[in-house]
Structure 1
Amino acid sequence: MAGLISECFDADLCAIFLLEPRSDKLLLEACVGQGAVKGGRLRVGQGISGLAVFHNKTIQVAHMAMDPRAVFLVGEEPSDNSVVAVPFGHGEDLSGVFNLQSRPGRCFVPGEIAMLEGEVGSSIRTLVSAVQTFENMNRRTGELQALNELGQAMNSGLGLDESLELIASLAAEALRAKGSAVRLLVEDGTLALATVVTETDNSFDLLYEQRIAEYVAASGEPIMIDDVRASRDPQAMGSSLACVPLVLEERVVGTLTLFDKIVPLGTERRLFSIDDLDMLFALSSQIAAEIEDIRLTGRLQELVRTEKHQASQLRALYSRSQAFLQSISDALLAVDRDGFVEEINTVGLRILGVEAKKTPQIHIDELVEDKPPLREWLDTGGQFSNRVVTLNTASGKVAAMANLQPIMEGTTGAAGAVLTFREMGEVGRLVNRVIGVQRTYSFEDIIGQSAIMHKTVELARIAASTSSNILIQGETGTGKEVFAQAVHSASAYSEGPFLAVNCAALPRDLIESELFGYVEGAFTGASKKGRLGKFELASGGTLFLDEIGEMPADVQVKLLRVLQEKAIVRVGGDRTIPINCRLIAATNRDLPQAVAEGRFRRDLLYRLNVITIEIPALNERREDIPLFIRRFVHIFAERNGKVVVGVDEPTINKMSQFDWPGNVRELENAVEHAVALVQGRTITVEDLPPHLNAFINDIDGNDRAMTTFEQAQQQADEAQRQLYLEALRGGEGDIQKAANLMGMSRATFYRRLKQFDLNREASNMRYEYHN
């Protein structure tokens, strides 16, 4: 046909594509002419032919090489031929598409197009239909042959399993189905799956099939369903289903289900017919008789579980329970009603440091300390969760988070209990993933090439290698927390959590419970389960107490006791809980002066400053200022999606002469301001904040009607004004917090606001942060 069409229309090549059933694929069925290829496929909408099917209209292209819609099949040489693609079928119900390729530039006239769409398309459609009809006749002949084979199989004398598998396979073959399933009614009245056969790797939903089969068995009526797929994939099993009861002497003994009617090419739906159902009924009586015969001869006894199989199942169940016991990440103990250990997993053995063979001789109270003792919990059948207990391990006492669940035995009470626990260090690491500070800094991240900075970093590295408490001192904005994180990352505690607490930011009446935790009912509004404190959560890691100089006197006393005894007592509790964390404190205050004024405990200072790290102010290491500037320019340019190559050298030099009372934080703010406002690729003086711009212009000798002393005074006043503004921002508009940041009283801070005309700004910030 393709060759005849090509010859009649003087074309170089003719290709015929057929639409694959229930898909968007076009399969190449014939290709004749110059450059012909074998096989291949297109998607509907792909290439000129695919677009013709998609739009259901003829498409003609004079030069394929110039048309971006053109697509060439695998093995097809790209060319500049002309092409006309014509879909064929019944109206909207398309069967495929054919195309003709000719010399470049050729266009078919309307009369030729009409003939292609009419007589030629109709001829191809008729031919395809005839071929499909012939194939259907061949399939019916095959069905009759399969029925004959099925009859022979009934008398083959095979066992039940082999017979059912052969019956299911031949039934599917007889009715051209992709799969089949046989279910039998067993003695307890349930419908058991006896066999399932498929001709493909795809599976179908047996749970759904079971529900259908149960309905058919109960009603005695057959069911045909058009589409039972869970997936819309055309290749998914379950596009259609037919299920009939297997009836013997008016008694249902099982069901036979067929899946997916295989149909001729081009048919969109795989549905079973009434003829198929009649044939299934004819088969079902023979199948039911064969099944009953096998039952009467005792072959069905093979399906009954033997004692050996049951024992094997029990062994498998025990193996699974042991695998589960050993696979959980928590330690697990199982004890009997008297409190003696019956089972313990590998994690528990490792934490406690005991031998598995000795565990049956150990009582739970020897391993776990609690108030009341765990034996009392066992006697009452009580349970708890997230309770901190003390473990008596081979290496000493260890705090752990535990859960206790009784094993109840009818109405006689607890037959034992299961205790799971996890070391507090591990709990802290898990909590740190949610509420902890992300450790982002190491010593390699600290910026500075000055001699004083090298000396400070070296001291911090040495301190990191110890377990001693560290006090970090420095002005606001010098990077105290950066150093604290770097020390943590380089220490033996680096695998544990890093928790940071700002003592100045916590309300006075909450700081104690925040640090040490509290028990149930400790105060009004307390959680019913109590709460872990930061010391417990930081177990195995580092606790960073920033603004330690702001800690209330009564909390200082309790902190001193914790540092001395390496243990805490929760607010409202009486149990001592051991802790294991490294403490780093930081302040911008003069703590010795605070001690002299009676605002800080001398003995606590001695506990904190075992190693003291003084971080120099930015104006003490001016040679590092250009490094910070370049680093901040890179960060903020990338964050804002801008191309900024840097700051011009004169501006860098002038910025290095500024005193930076806010240190690195103020410098960072200034660079962010400049990057945000710069219009070009290089930052200049004009892009800096106003107070810096004025300072640099003064350095350049701008003509001003004031003395040198007045200029310096103005610069100092402006710097202080900006410092108080930064304090207000740091305190989020709260006067008390801002005063604490500046290390002065609330009244003094108010006087400074009035002195520098900042009352309006303070009012605006309060409204901004609290509304």
Structure 2
Amino acid sequence: MNRNEQYMSAKEIQSWEEEIKNPFADFNYYRDLIEASPVLIYVYQNSRVIYVNPAVEKTLGFTFAEMTQKNFWDICHPDYRELIRERGLARLQGKDAPSNYEFKIIKKNGEAIWVDVFFGTIRMSNKIIGIVGAYDITEKKLLKEQLEIAKNELEFRVKQKTEELSLKNNKLTLLNRNLSNVIMNMSDGVVVVTRTGDFELLNPVFKQNWGNLLDSIKVKLKKDILNGKNDLITNMFDKHIAFRDEEFIYSTDNGSIHLLASGTPIVNEDGKVNSGLLILRPITEVHKLVNRFSGAKATFHFEDIITGNDAMSELIENAKIAAFSMSNVLIEGESGTGKELFAQAIHNHSHRSNGPFVALNCGAIPRDLIGSELFGYAEGAFTGARKGGNPGKFELASGGTLFLDEIGDMPFEQQIALLRVIQEKSVTRIGGTQAIPVDVRIICATNKDLHTEMINKRFRKDLYYRLNVISIRIPPLRERKEDIPLLVNHFLKDNYAYWDNDKAILSPHLLTSLQAYEWPGNVRELQNVVERMLNNAQGKQLDVAHLPPDLFSQKTPRRIQPAQNLNVKEEPAKTIRQARQLAKKLAEDEERQQIIKLLQLYKGNVSRVARELDISRTTLYRKMDKYKVDK
């Protein structure tokens, strides 16, 4: 059919109206229903519209007459004509094809709307009549599109938020894992405790630190929390106040618990505190750390004691045996003999070698302060007392050794307090009331005759017998002269790092002079003299001339014995001046003999002799003139 054939005459329209009326004449009931239906209904024959219901006119804007002048394809949207054609042909050929589908049609005003279309055919009056039913689904499509857009947007946002939450969750998981690893691997004991006193988390170190005392700690802390007896913990829960490094002391059937505690409230989302994190350190571990950085460590061993003296060697063996005892030790000896060296060696040889070695010089502390140094003090004990108090040497030395040097200088009133600590094995800080158990071995040293001090009532008798269980007397250096060369060589080696000399050479006369002196300052004085000689020396040769000049006037406390293996006719030297003069004379005699022998060897060749002595010809002539030596 061409385009001209689409236009109909009035007569033809009337004829078709009659034709359409006739088919529906027997279905007036249905005709009324069709005309009242909102569904767009087309009836066509041979591709021409022969009937449309009012819904078509209302929706598309075409009159019935206009619709009958149009081919059905005219109102189909161009984008869908091919699809409709293909499916129509398929149906005509008896092939499977959908009888309904969605596409767009064009209204009179040119607007395209979506319709859901059903195609069907009926036979009436021996004629094939095509029927099209269509729903206007434009709004549905629009809503669907909007829903699809909203759905896509929602899915995008959900995906985006899911990814964000997943990332945050991964971060939180990693953070929690890291926090857990930190807590579980901390060197301090950590516990999370609830407001009801229950333990939510314990790290391994907490269990390791407290062992069989763990249950006792749980009981004590729970009582403190429930009864409000510990202000620090109560304020942590009620006032959200953290605390740091506070001492807790509990007495239990299994022993005393002494710990250093820090607490931090854990605030939840609603601003309440239902649990707190506590770090509980055994006070012994804190003391170890304090001792480590304060130098409270024994560095000397018996192998560091240098001697060739039989009596001194026997003393060392006795001290080794004493090291394994639990008894207190009293070391007597003059100043500078090495009393602390023996004390450290005894500590390092004992079963307490892994514990602290804490030293206190009783003669160097003012009498008003020695009590707080030994026993510590509580907070507020006196003006200027540190917040939280301060532990004393006894507490710091617990598990190890307390070395009380110059014990003979301890004030008489403090001797009573010291005796009480030794007897009760516990210490009460000055200004405090809590007895703190201590496990300490005491080694005392004195340069006084403590027995005489006791007789003269300058030292308590009961304390003397408590301390003088194992007695060690270190002989002075003048009683072991054979140790002087060994000690000198040792001190020289110690000083090589500070000097250019790789090895200093000692003249025999110097050793003779050193052994002739009585050394009232003992080994300490000898060490000082060796270092001073190195400062005075010009080269590698150390001689009597390098001895400190201020030693010349020092009188020795006793008459000096002649050095062994010395073939000298002079009287034994009584002072270092005399020893030096004697050594100088011997050195000059030795040098004169050496020049004479070399002149004889080289038959008077002065140049050869000077080169051999590593001196100039002028210096050699001067020495020959001094010693009255001829060629």
TM-score of the pair, normalised by structure 2 = 0.59
Give the CA deviation at 1:522. 1.0
Structure 2 distance, partners of 1:443, 1:542, is 16
Does structure 1 residue 652 correspond to structure 2 residue 508?
Answer: no
Tell me the residue number matched to 1:479.
338
* Farther-moved stretch of structure 1 (577-586 vs 564-573): 577-586
C-alpha displacement of 1:520: 1.7
Which of residues 456, 477, 483 is equivalent to 1:624? 483
Aligned partners of 1:407 and 1:416 also within 8 Å: yes
Q: 1:570 to 1:486 in 2, by over 3 A?
A: same
Distance 1:299 1:355, change over 3 A: farther
1:458 to 307, 310, 317: 317
1:617-696 correspondence to structure 2 within 5 Å: 617-690=476-549
| Alpha-carbon offset, residue 471 of structure 1 | 1.7
Q: CA deviation at 1:394?
A: 9.0
Does the CA-based 8 Å contact 2:551-2:576 persist in structure 1?
no
Once the two structures are superposed, the pairs formed by residues 531-680 of structure 1 within 5 Å of their partners are 531-680=390-539
Question: Match for 2:327 among 460, 464, 468?
Answer: 468
2:452 counterpart SS class: helix
Count of residues paired in the alignment: 419
Instruction: Say whether 1:352 aligns with 2:242.
Output: no
Q: Distance in 2 between matches of 1:715 and 1:326?
A: 68
* Structure 1: distance between partners of 2:162 and 2:344: 64
Q: Which amino acid aligns with 2:445?
A: A
- TM superposition shift of 1:430: 1.2
Give the one of 274, 299, 303 matched to 2:160.
303
- Is residue 305 of structure 2 the alignment partner of residue 446 of structure 1? yes
Match of 1:488 in 2: 347
- For 2:161 and 2:250, locate their aligned partners in 1 and report how far apart those are by CA, in whole Å: 51
Once the two structures are superposed, the pairs formed by residues 121-520 of structure 1 within 5 Å of their partners are: 296=153, 298-299=155-156, 301-305=158-162, 318-354=176-212, 362-365=218-221, 373-374=229-230, 377-378=233-234, 384-390=243-249, 396-407=255-266, 415-437=274-296, 439-520=298-379
Distance in 2, Cα, partners of 1:309 & 1:590: 78
Counterparts of 1:314 and 1:673 in 2: how far apart (Å)? 67
Secondary structure at 1:532 match in 2: coil
* Cα distance change of structure 1 residues 582 and 641 upon mapping to structure 2, 3 Å threshold: farther
Shift of 1:681: 1.5
Once the two structures are superposed, what CA deviation does each residue of 1:647-693 show, in whole Å capped at 9, x if it has no partner? Answer: 22232133223211110011111111211112231211121123656
C-alpha deviation, 1:581, in angstroms = 3.2
1:713-724 superposed matches below 5 A: none
Distance 1:682 1:350, change over 3 A: same
Query: Residue 401 of structure 1 aligns to which amino acid in structure 2?
Result: L
1:534-593, Cα deviation, whole Å (9 max, x unpaired): 222223332221111111112111111111222111111111112233322111111111
One-letter amino acid of the structure 1 residue matched with residue 234 of structure 2: L
1:646 and 1:436 map into 2 onto residues whose CA distance is 35
Cα 1:448/1:640, change in 2 over 3 Å: same
Kindly provide the amino acid, as one letter, of the partner of residue 604 in structure 1. L
Tell me if structure 2 keeps the 8 A contact 1:513–1:571: yes
SS of equivalent residue, structure 2 residue 497: helix
- Separation of aligned partners in 2, 1:661 and 1:368: 62
Quote the sequence identity (%): 39
CA contact (8 A) 1:436 1:500 kept: no
Question: Structure 2: which amino acid aligns with 1:623?
Answer: E
Cα distance, 1:391 vs. partner?
5.2
Residues 409-451 of structure 1: CA deviation (Å, up to 9, x unaligned)? 6898753433322222221221123212454321111111211
SS at match of 2:244: strand
Shift of 1:311: 7.2
Following superposition, the deviation at residue 308 of structure 1 comes to 8.3
Contact 2:232 2:243 survives alignment (8 Å): no
Q: How much has 1:378 moved relative to structure 2?
A: 2.3
Instruction: Indicate how the Cα distance of structure 1 residues 689 and 596 shifts in structure 2: closer, same or farther if over 3 A, else same.
Output: same
Which residue identity lines up with residue 670 of structure 1 in the other structure?
Answer: V
Question: Where do 5+ consecutive residues of structure 2 fail to align?
Answer: 1-148, 580-631
Residues 393 and 460 of structure 1, relative CA distance in 2, 3 Å threshold: farther
Separation in structure 2 between the aligned mates of residue 454 and residue 363 of structure 1, nearest angstrom: 55
User: What per-residue deviation string (whole Å, max 9, x for no partner) do you get for residues 37-61 of structure 1?
Assistant: xxxxxxxxxxxxxxxxxxxxxxxxx
Report the AA paired with residue 321 of structure 2: I
Q: Is the 8 A contact 2:513 2:576 kept in 1?
A: no
Indicate conservation of the 8 Å contact 1:424/1:539, yes or no: no
Q: Which has the larger radius of gyration?
A: 2
8 Å contact 2:529–2:547 — kept in the other structure? yes
| SS at structure 2 position matched to 1:521 | coil
**CA drift at 1:635:** 2.0
The CA deviation at 1:305 is: 2.1
Go from structure 1 to structure 2 and tell me whether the alpha carbon gap of 1:300 and 1:318 turns closer, same or farther (over 3 Å shift).
same
CA separation in 1, counterparts of 2:551 and 2:384?
49
Greater shift, 383-392 or 659-668, is seen at: 383-392
Superposed CA deviations along residues 203-249 of structure 1, whole A, max 9, x for unmatched, are xxxxxxxxxxxxxxxxxxxxxxxxxxxxxxxxxxxxxxxxxxxxxxx
8 Å Cα contact 2:552/2:576 also seen in 1: no
Distance 1:717 1:470, change over 3 A: farther
- Partners of 1:400 and 1:716 lie apart in 2 by 62
Deviation for aligned residue 1:611: 1.8
CA contact (8 A) 1:502 1:547 kept: yes
Native 8 Å contact 2:453 2:459 kept in 1: yes
Q: 2:182 corresponds to which letter in structure 1?
A: F
SS state at 1:487 partner:
helix
1:393 offset after TM fit, Å? Answer: 7.8
Shift of 1:624: 1.0
Can you list the C-alpha shifts for 1:121-167, whole angstroms capped at 9, x where unaligned?
xxxxxxxxxxxxxxxxxxxxxxxxxxxxxxxxxxxxxxxxxxxxxxx
The amino acid that maps onto 2:403 is F
Give distance in 2, aligned partners of 1:395 and 1:660: 55
Kept after mapping to 2: 8 A contact 1:517/1:531: yes
Question: Is contact 2:517–2:576 with CA below 8 Å preserved after alignment?
Answer: no
Equivalent residues of 1:402, 1:420 under 8 A apart: yes
Which residue pairs with 1:249 in the alignment?
Answer: none
Question: 2:398 & 2:352 partners in 1: Cα distance?
Answer: 9
- Is the contact made by 1:544 and 1:584 (CA closer than 8 Å) also made in structure 2? yes
In structure 2, how many angstroms separate the alpha carbons of the residues matched to 1:327 and 1:505? Answer: 43
The 8 Å contact of residues 428 and 496 in structure 1, kept in 2 or not, is answered as no
C-alpha RMSD of matched pairs (Å): 4.0
* Secondary structure, counterpart of 1:622 in structure 2: coil
- Higher relative contact order structure (alpha carbons within 8 Å, sequence separation ≥ 6): 2
Please state how far the C-alpha of 1:400 moved relative to its aligned partner: 2.4
Residue identity in the other structure for 2:195: R
Shift of 1:401: 2.1
